[in-house]
Amino acid sequence: MRYELIGDSNCPMAKVALGNGETIKLERGAMAYMVDVDISGKMNSKGGGLGGFVGAIGRSLTSGESMFITEAVGKTDSSEIGIAPATMGKITRLQVGERQYRLNTGAYLASDSKVNYKMVRQKISAALFGGTGGLFVMETEGYGDVLVNAFGDMIEIEVTPERPVVIDNDHVVAWDKSLNYNIKVASGAFGFTTGEGLVNSFTGSGKVIIQTRNLASFAGSIRKYMPAK
């Protein structure tokens, strides 16, 4: 994907260059502007017809992802499209192929046309108590680039067999699909004594990408300033 980040470094927009007939996929509602580009809404499913429709509904119900995804196609050799995430924060590229990733809900922004994702069933404990997609979690497949976004900045943390890492659920953006993870209570009665709640314990070999800010905590901090009905 040929792109550059423009605007404020803390709240950038991705400007993606498209050739004639070149296609990318992007999160529904992420288009900020476009030049010589056609966009259309597609079912968020590989299949077509009734099977694709049912699959898209299933993804939406089980993972919280939209039933639809936007496809952008360049009409000239100098087409471009500006893509903006819903939250304030950084955008980064993940190169998928030999290395595939699992993405937290809301992390996906855009991808090459040859990159797809599938919904992978989580363990019941992760589905019931985690913040990473409900019953299913998004896993990339194919070859190319995926753009992901975060609330705040992004940091990579290496996990090794000798160095497992525990990360707050709401800070996880993406992780190597080869990693094992287990969702548990941080401490005490749901973190009552420490102020922490549910965490992901990652083991194995790979990397986890985290965001430096917690959107749920931010929403809670400003709730008291919101006018009551």
Q: What are the structural domain ranges in the chain?
A: 2-223
70 near 40, Cβ under 8 Å?
Answer: yes
Chain mean pLDDT for the chain: 82
Q: In this predicted structure, which of 123-132, 160-169, 214-223 has the lowest mean pLDDT?
A: 123-132
Residue 32 pLDDT: 97
3 near 15, Cβ under 8 Å?
Answer: yes
192: phi then psi, degrees, rounded to nearest 5: -60, -40
- CATH class of the domain whose range is 2-223: alpha beta
Is the pLDDT at 40 greater than 90, yes or no?
yes
Pairing of strands 198-203, 144-149: unpaired
Is the pLDDT at 130 greater than 60, yes or no?
no
Is the pLDDT at 189 greater than 50, yes or no?
no
**Mean pLDDT, residues 24-39:** 95
Instruction: Give tens-digit pLDDT for 207-220.
Output: 999 999 988 888 88
Q: In this predicted structure, which of 36-50, 52-66, 139-153 has the lowest mean pLDDT?
A: 52-66
H-helix or E-strand containing 57? helix 49-63
What tokens were used for 13? Answer: 């927009």
- How far, in Å, CA of 49 to CA of 34, rounded? 29
First to last CA, the chain: 46
Residue whose C-alpha is closest to residue 91's, from 27, 212, 10: 10
**Mean pLDDT, residues 131-143:** 74
Q: Is 145 helix (H, G, I), strand (E, B) or coil?
A: strand
- How far, in Å, CA of 207 to CA of 133, rounded? 19
Residue 115 pLDDT: 93
Q: 0.85 cut: is pTM over it?
A: no
What tokens were used for 146? Answer: 């995926």
